[in-house]
Amino acid sequence: MSRVFNFSAGPAMLPEEVLKKAQDELLDYQGSGMSVMEMSHRGKTFGGIIEKAEADFRSLVGVPDNYKVLFLQGGGWTQFAMVPLNLMRNHKAAYIVTGHWAKKAAEEAARFGEVIIPASSEEENFSCIPDCSDLSIPDDADYLYICENNTIYGTEYQTLPDTKGHILVSDMSSDFLSRPIDVEKYGLFFGGVQKNVGPAGVVIVVIREDLIRDDLLPSVPTMLQYHTHAEKGSLFNTPPAFGIYMCGLTFEWIKEQGGLSAMQTLREEKAKRFYDFLDESRLFRGTARKEDRSCMNAPFVTGNADLDAQFLKEAEAAGLVSLKGHRSVGGMRASFYNAMPMEGVDKLVSFMKEFEAANREAILSETKEEEADV
Ligand SMILES: *Cc1c(COP(=O)(O)O)cnc(C)c1O
């Protein structure tokens, strides 16, 4: 067996201990004689799994009693529709557009009501988080929506926007459980788990109870109402049972590591090691504004497409994989989720140093060309 350092933005690395535990229990889950994949979701055994997963999640995050935790299907994208379908009472909401996913969410919401964009960084090619300290939000907007970590562009909110008393809704898919969450600041937040928590197929929604309505328009599909799932403890229909079980194992792992503040310390150390090198590199440079840089996803380029391609190829041969940047940014992107060991970050930085040294001539001749151009 040889595992690589997988820098993918998602689906992404899971902790090896979690995968091994799942492997151990795969054929015979705790004496049940069957796999979690094979058992009834109405049975006692799975009941125990989902209850423990929810309890562990609640204690990790510190979810107050007046919030529901829902394990749903359909990924982040389904939440782009469920949020407006369930929360738009006045058919109006504000969306801060800071990247691809925030923009897609805003476009989806526009199917159901009026979307106001009080701030956007689109003109800066999403390289930063706009100033959100004094937004102009109409009083009758039902909520303010943000994407807290921009997976593709590598920016992350360092402070939450001033919502001016509006309900805050956040997509936390790519920094979910990487740092403590001040739950009461939000009306609702969600995370597709394939970025930092578990296998694709589960999205976790945390919603304040008073926002769950049972008087939605009759045209809202049963499966797209939070009420449906909240009432049945996420067991309205057959849930993504194996995925929920895997999330539960990850929650246990995070608890063993010391919880969300330990995850935060770890992510900050990883980001520091990477960005310290990036800032002094003469070959590589980051594409996001320094103050807004994400601890989770770091896009970077050499400025030369051929050199980028050569880097990716050589990195892969060295066991550092999935470093290709998203097509809208180009270059490279390294994702440092909870399960990425420090060793992976150190290996990447050493590899980049070596690559830089080996290609010094290319850099020097480019500098000369630039000088000649002036
Ligand atoms: C990946 C991602 C999504 C989309 O998730 P799906 O589960 O593929 O629908 C949404 N938001 C963010 C921030 C993401 O990183």
Instruction: Indicate the burial class of 188 (C-beta count within 10 angstroms; 0-12, 13-18, 19 or more).
Output: buried
- Residue given tokens 């805003």 in the structure block: 106
- CA of 283 from ligand 1 middle (Å) equals 31
Domains in the chain, start-ordered, CATH in brackets?
Answer: 16-257 (3.40.640.10), 260-373 (3.90.1150.10)
State if residue 78 touches ligand 1 by the CB under 6 angstroms criterion: no
CA-172 nearest atom, ligand 1: 13
- CA of 27 from ligand 1 middle (Å) equals 31
State if residue 236 touches ligand 1 by the CB under 6 angstroms criterion: no
CB under 8 Å to 42, separation ≥6 — which residues? 235
CB under 8 Å to 110, separation ≥6 — which residues? none
Smallest CA-to-CA distance from 333 within 188, 154, 198 is with 154
- CA of 116 from ligand 1 middle (Å) equals 22
Q: Indicate the SS3 state at residue 273.
A: helix
State if residue 80 touches ligand 1 by the CB under 6 angstroms criterion: no
How far is residue 237's CA from residue 242's CA, in Å, rounded to a whole number? 14
Q: Residue 256 pairs with which residues in a beta bridge?
A: none
Q: Where are the beta strands (DSSP E) in 4-151?
A: 5-6, 67-72, 92-95, 114-116, 143-147, 149-150
Helix axes 100-109, 75-87, angle to 10 degrees: 40
State if residue 76 touches ligand 1 by the CB under 6 angstroms criterion: yes
How far is residue 239's CA from residue 42's CA, in Å, rounded to a whole number? 10
Q: 10 Å Cβ neighbour count for 65?
A: 7
Residue 205 near residue 81, CB atoms below 8 Å: no
- Ligand 1 mutation pick, 77, 82, 104, 335, max ligand atoms within 8 A of CB: 77
State if residue 171 touches ligand 1 by the CB under 6 angstroms criterion: yes
Residue 189 near residue 203, CB atoms below 8 Å: no
Residue 338 near residue 263, CB atoms below 8 Å: yes
Residue 119 near residue 132, CB atoms below 8 Å: yes
Q: Count of residues for the chain?
A: 374
Residue 190 near residue 204, CB atoms below 8 Å: yes
pLDDT, residue 185, reads 98
pLDDT, residue 287, reads 96
What tokens were used for 169? 């809704």
Alpha carbon nearest to ligand 1 atom 3, residue:
76
∠ CA 98-99-104, nearest 5°, is: 110
CA-80 nearest atom, ligand 1: 10
State if residue 191 touches ligand 1 by the CB under 6 angstroms criterion: no
CA-75 nearest atom, ligand 1: 7
CA atoms within 13 A on the CB side of 246: 26
State if residue 147 touches ligand 1 by the CB under 6 angstroms criterion: yes
State if residue 151 touches ligand 1 by the CB under 6 angstroms criterion: yes
Our measurement of the distance from residue 142's CA atom to the centroid of its chain's CA atoms, rounded to an integer in Å, reads 24
CA-174 nearest atom, ligand 1: 15
- Enumerate the active-site residues: 101, 171, 195
Mean pLDDT, contiguous 10-residue spans, the chain (374 residues): 93 97 98 98 98 98 98 98 97 98 98 98 97 97 98 98 98 98 98 97 98 94 98 98 98 98 98 98 96 98 95 98 94 98 98 94 64 55
Quote the pTM value.
Answer: 0.96
- What is the DSSP code (8-state) at residue 183? G
CA-147 nearest atom, ligand 1: 13
Indicate the residue type of 229: H
What tokens were used for 275? 């960005």
What tokens were used for 236? 């309205």
pLDDT, residue 2, reads 85
Smallest CA-to-CA distance from 16 within 30, 31, 1, 27 is with 1
Residue 180 near residue 260, CB atoms below 8 Å: yes
pLDDT, residue 372, reads 54
